[in-house]
Structures are given as C-alpha cells and as structure tokens.
Chains A and B, each alone.
Chain A
Amino acid sequence: MAKKILTEHINVPGIETFDVYRKQGGYTAVEKAIKTMTPEEVVEEAKKSGVRGRGGAGFPMGMKWGFLAKPEGVPRYLVCNADESEPGTFKDHHLMKSIPHLLIEGMIISSYALGANKSFIYVRGELMYVIRILEKAIEEAKAQGFLGKNILGSGYDLELIVQPGGGAYICGEETALLESLEGKRGNPRNKPPFPAVKGLYQSPTVVNNVESIANMSWIINNGGDAYAAIGIGRSTGTKLISASGHIEKPGVYEIELGVSVEEFLNSDEYCGGIRKGHHLKALVAGGSSVPILPAHLIMKTANGEDRLMSYESLSDGGFATGTMLGSGGFIVFDETACIVRNTWNFSRFYHHESCGQCSPCREGTGWMEKVLHRIEHGHGSMHDVDLLVDISKKIEGNTICPLGDAAAWPVASAIRHFRDEFVWHITNPHEATQPGAVYRGEMELA
C-alpha cells in the first residue's frame, strides 16, 4: 500500500467527530506547532516539504507563505479555497465531509504560521451540508481549547469562519474569491498588487487550497524533510486524485506522486481499469481545463517513457504531446465517448462561468460554444475547425485571470489530437447526429 498522508484515517468510524479524530493522533500537530515552534519555524517546515499548491497551479506553498507582507499594525488573513468547481474535481468535497478536523487542524497551524487571527474557509454554496459539518467541527475544536482566545495557553488567538459562496466557478480564482468574500460579484482583480500584499480588505492575504492546507498536520508531526522524501523530484508528497468517467471504480484516491498513469488507471487499488469490455480512448488528467490527451499519449510520453502521475511527467512534451496535473481531476473516456460533444459541453461550461469582465473571454467563450454546437448538431462547415483554433488563440493570454486560458485549452487540444473526429462530424452530419453515434475511424485505442 502506498503512503497515505491525508486519508490514512478517513474510514475510521466516527472520524468526523473530535474525540475519534483526537484518538487517531489528531491535534498533536497543533500542540507541537503552538507550544514548541515559532511561526517562522512552521513556515520553514512548509518550505522544506516542497508541497505545491493543490488547487491547480502547483505553486510551492512555503514559498508563497514567504511572500506574505507583514506591515506593522495591519491584520493578515489566511483564506482557504474550498470553492472546488473545476469539472472532474471532487476531492476537497470528499475530504471535508469525511474528515473535517484535518482541515481545521491544518488551518490552525497555517494561521499560526502566518500570524493570522481571523481565517476563512470559503466553501462553494452548493455544499451547504459540508459547511454545517465544518461548523460543527469548529465548535468542537473551540470547546477543547484549540480555537478561540489564548489557544492552549499560548496567547495566540484564532477565529475560523466558514463562508458560503453563491454558485460561481470563477470564485475559485483567488482574487475573485476575495471579492466574493467581501460581498461582491466574483470579478477577478488586476494583478499586481498580489493578495500577499493587498488581499482581503486590502490586507496581506494567503489563499490556499483545502488539500494544500490539510497536509500541514502531517508535515508538522513528521517534518518537512520526511514529506519531501515522498513522491518524485519536485513533485513531493501525495496527491488526491478525483477519478471519474468510464472506469470500474470512480472515486477519490490518494496517490504517492510518481506512480505511473498505467498503475493508477489499471490497478485495483485505484481506478480498477477501464469499465469491462471497453477501451481507453482519451484522458483529461487534471480537471476540465487541462489539455485532453489521446490514448497513445497517456501511458507513455512522446519519447516512449512511462508517463507518471507527477507535475513534470504529465506536462512532458508541452501542449503538443503533454498536459498538466492541474487539480487532479482524472476524467476517463472510452471508445463510446464523443470528443466533439464533450468539447462542446466543456465550452458551454466556460461560457456560462465567464464573469464577463474581459471581452476576449466573454465573447470568445460564447463563440466557441456556438461553433461547437453547430458542428455537434450537424451544421458545421470545414472552416469552423480552424475558426475554433483561431478563437482559442485570441482568448489565451489576453484576459485578467486564467479562466480564458482554461476555456481555450480544452478546445485547442481536442482539435489538435482529434481533428479527424471534428471533420467526420462536418462531412457526415446525418450519421454523426444519430443518437449515440461516435466516430470510429482510424484511431488508436488502448
């Protein structure tokens, strides 16, 4: 069995309660950090661990903490990003509902490290039942002296607030999240200034993903070096992967970074293989925003090396032949899946979720959806394929926040790797629009 850092105790009955969590060694990391370490020493352990942001961008967490401005007399904030809305991603949902104290414990340690006395967990509003679970856990921790005034007699005060969103993917983008937390529309801010300097209420702020923060208990208990010893190269530690689509066992799995894609997909410890009687056609490895890969580029890189579940290996080959680990939303497509239909579905998502601030994104996502809709519904023309590529290029890099890129990449990559399938839809509109019709031309399956 591979190393488990986040999910070791997740199936212990009653683990959502303080007592059971505590019996499994919970909150010892808070005691260790607050009683025996300075905030700087906690930051140092985070740096040593090499843990990278698990929200999608993979930025080293300790380094981000090091950038936090500390002007005298100005409060600092820690905000946990639990907006989890990237299609294919459901790991934070799973973690928070199953073992809420792991996040609460991580929030206390991280807030102490950053000198924050009021910290927020921003949870997408649809997960109201999870918000209630977290609020209950916070009450329990408070009753035991791990939260509130003068924690464990140290003189350190911390209040934790769970904030619901209102339903908007864009609020996962950290500056849109801060706007939303201030009670406004989720329009991303221009950067600079970065949140580390001017974030929530114009004060220095760190925003980190649920999973990133949840790692802190283990890191404090075992040391940053021990964490860095797990994983492979600069992909240290473990990662929660949300596996969905045409596999035997969809679900959330904790992997040691560096396990091969083949093992993750086919072993019974994880996905259990493609569903019986079917074959792998395509994979989105890191949430809907990352480039889709065809079967022949999934298990092996273009150089013929084993493809691994790590930041580096998944991006090997750049966008020409690689993809990204992203948020770890692992979506599997077998030969019954229509790439055109899925691409249209994703483009509709981005169009729906664009905040509307930047013209290239607001207009471009609408055009991509419209063109994909007509191809999927048998009204496309050959010119449309290049038109889509052209629109995606005009969005990419031309927007305030990366939602534009996230909308462009799935479309550009689907055309890059599955152009024949788009062309087939255009040249065989009658056949392609039959219910359940899927392109079965020349294509490598695995």
Chain B
Amino acid sequence: MTETPNLVAFTPERLEKVKEIIARYPEGRQKSALLPVLHVAQEQWGWLNSEVMDYVAGILSIQPVEVYEVASFYTMYHLDPVGKHVIEYCRTGPCCLMGGEDVYGHLKQKLGVEAGQTTADGLFTLKEVECLAACGWGPVFQIREQFYMNLTNDKVDQIIEDLSK
C-alpha cells in the first residue's frame, strides 16, 4: 500500500509547483486550481484522504466540502488507498471489439483480483475505466501517465512481470 498521509504538507518542489498553478488564474479565481492541485496531491500521496483534502482546501482558501464534492465527482481521484501501480483498463465498446474482455479477464486471473481490488502484496490495484481516447489502439490500459496499447495476453504478462521486479 502507498503510505497513509500523516505529515500533510507538499514537498518544497511540489509546493512551488502548486503556487505556480494558482498564479495562472485571474485574481480571485484561485479555485480554478483545484483539479490540477488535486492531481499534484495524488502524485505525492497516491490517494486523497480527508486530511489531504482539508490541506488543499486551506491552500486554496476554500471550504473543505468544495474539495470533497469535486474529488468524489471525478473518476481519476482515488478516495481509498491504492497499490503501488494502479492499472486502469478501458472497458468501453471499441476496446471490447478488439478483444478487451478476454485480455482483461486474463489480467484479473493473473493478479488474482477483480476490478476495484488490490493484490495482497500491495503492488497492483485494478480499476475499470471508460474510453481513454485510444480506441484504435485497443485494448488499452493506463498506469499513471503511461498508456499500454494493443494489449494481448502475452503483453500483459510481460508488463506485470516487469513491474513486479
């Protein structure tokens, strides 16, 4: 599992980045920074617990509830602990036409978990997502910023092995 956030503060580099983001928007519109800042927070802590969200609210001078309602609306923010690698696979039509259901079935079997679950060693969390704008290169999944495309069972095996090292 990613470590639970306890000492809630951005690293100096990330705090610098956050300040830069906030400065982009017109005077009084710092709330616009919320989505990008939550991405930075998730990059640091892996997921967003209420302490992290309260901290972000403080930085942007908005109410904590304004952060909760946003974090819970968008699918990219994890509100529960996740494994080291979150595998987000596309379950939408075009990827399924390209054999997605079989490949994802293989992936689940290999990891021994279903969508929404984390492997016992804390290495992998599986997450089912909708179309990732890569339909011609499906089946596809994403791990952090990286896209893995034209997936086959063999490719899946290779990727999991590489990441398990």
Contact = CB atoms under 8 A, between A and B. Distances in A.
Contact of B70 (A88, A166, A244): A166
Interface stretch (A33-41, A60-68, A118-126, A147-155): A118-126
B138 interface: yes
Contact of A342 (B24, B25, B93, B135): B93
A245 B129 contact: no
A167 B94 contact: no
Given A164-B39, A181-B32, A346 B93 contact: yes
Interface residues of B, number: 45
A345 B93 contact: yes
A182 B29 contact: yes
A198 to B, nearest CB: 15
A106 interface: no
A396 B69 CA distance: 28
A183 B145 contact: no
B34 interface: yes
Nearest to A132: B145
Interface string B110-144: 00000000000000000001111111111000101
Interface-centre pick from A84, A93, A251, A346 (highest chain B CB count, 10 A): A93
B26 interface: yes
A326 to B, nearest CB: 14
B74 A167 contact: yes
A262 to B, nearest CB: 20
Interface-centre pick from B34, B35, B69, B74 (highest chain A CB count, 10 A): B35
A181 to B, nearest CB: 6
Query: Chain A contact residues: over half helix, strand or loop, or mixed?
Result: mixed
Interface in B10-55: 24-26, 29, 31-36, 38-39
B44 to A, nearest CB: 15
B81 to A, nearest CB: 18
B76 interface: yes
Contact of B74 (A86, A165, A342, A352): A165
Interface stretch (A49-57, A221-229, A329-337, A399-407): A329-337
A89 B35 contact: no
Given A126-B129, A165-B35, A250-B136, 16 more contacts: A89-B133, A93-B133, A124-B133, A159-B24, A183-B60, A183-B62, A183-B70, A185-B70, A201-B26, A242-B135, A329-B135, A331-B94, A341-B96, A342-B93, A349-B130, A349-B131
Q: List the 8 closest pairs (A to B, CB-CB), nearest first.
A: A166-B74, A167-B76, A250-B136, A183-B34, A167-B75, A183-B31, A244-B135, A185-B73
